[in-house]
């Protein structure tokens, strides 16, 4: 499992997906928002939690089409499906690799980008916590979507259409937690819901993704 994780990390960094692409998109979106809504500090501070969460979600979405596509093209998925290690475990490792190369850099970069959107001082810590708790769900949902669409021509567009509705609950609770924290309110309830979503995705979606992948490989 560790060897598979290290392999996926190397592939993500070599292919230019994940790390650099997600951060660049996150930065561009954050820089463009003040131009679109105007340089109003109060308005920017109000919408900052939602914009940062939306940027993180879309940045995670960018690299999903390559999550299993490269392995499908070179036959590695067939090897994984017949290997002695459980396919569910292998897909969970791929989700972890995606989170390390995409989700974790976004968590680290979010406070710096929050400055550009005039995020209130009380919101920085809660923004990081909400992203830290919510981005694993985004990665695991992405693995499930990638397993459903692997091998399909132009599957990237279909993948986006399948995954985006599943991302909505995570976006709602993540942005609400960050907004409450920035406003000085208690963010415990949305954080608990966000934690539940991530734990549920980590526990269940590797099995669903494995079943979908086996059907596609037949």
Residue whose C-alpha is closest to residue 195's, from 113, 130, 99: 130
**Token output for 16:** 């230019």
Distance CA 158, CA 162 (A): 6
Tokens 């994940």, residue located: 18
Q: Are 179 and 48 in contact (CB under 8 A)?
A: no
Q: Are 21 and 60 in contact (CB under 8 A)?
A: no
Q: Please state, in angstroms and as integers, the Cα–Cα distance from residue 106 to each residue in 89, 111, 174, 212, following that order.
A: 25, 9, 14, 29
Per-residue pLDDT at 52 exceeds 70: yes
Identify the pLDDT of residue 19.
Answer: 62
- Domain hosting 111: range is 2-217
* Max avg pLDDT among 67-71, 75-79, 201-205: 201-205
Q: What's this model's pTM, rounded to 2 decimal places?
A: 0.90
What total number of domains does the chain contain?
1
- Of 1-5, 144-148, 185-189, 199-203, give the lowest mean pLDDT range: 1-5
Per-residue pLDDT at 23 exceeds 90: no
């Amino acid at each position: 499992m560790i060897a598979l994780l290290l392999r996926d990390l190397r592939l993500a960094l070599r292919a230019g997906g994940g790390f650099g692409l997600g951060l660049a998109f996150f930065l561009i979106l954050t820089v463009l928002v003040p131009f679109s809504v105007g340089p109003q500090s109060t308005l920017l501070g109000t919408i900052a939690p939602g914009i940062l969460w939306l940027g993180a979600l879309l940045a995670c979405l960018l690299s999903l089409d390559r999550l299993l596509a490269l392995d499908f093209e070179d036959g590695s998925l067939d090897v994984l499906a017949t290997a002695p290690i459980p396919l569910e475990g292998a897909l969970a490792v791929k989700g972890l690799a995606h989170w390390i190369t995409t989700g974790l850099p976004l968590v680290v970069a979010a406070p710096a980008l929050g400055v550009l959107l005039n995020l209130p001082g009380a919101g920085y810590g809660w923004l990081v916590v909400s992203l830290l708790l919510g981005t694993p769900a985004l990665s695991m949902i992405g693995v499930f979507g990638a397993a459903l669409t692997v091998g399909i021509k132009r599957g990237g567009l279909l993948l986006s259409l399948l995954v985006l509705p599943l991302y909505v609950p995570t976006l709602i609770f993540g942005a609400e937690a960050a907004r409450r924290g920035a406003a000085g309110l208690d963010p415990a309830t949305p954080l608990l819901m966000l934690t539940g979503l991530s734990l549920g995705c980590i526990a269940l979606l590797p099995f669903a993704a494995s079943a979908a992948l086996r059907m596609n490989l037949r």
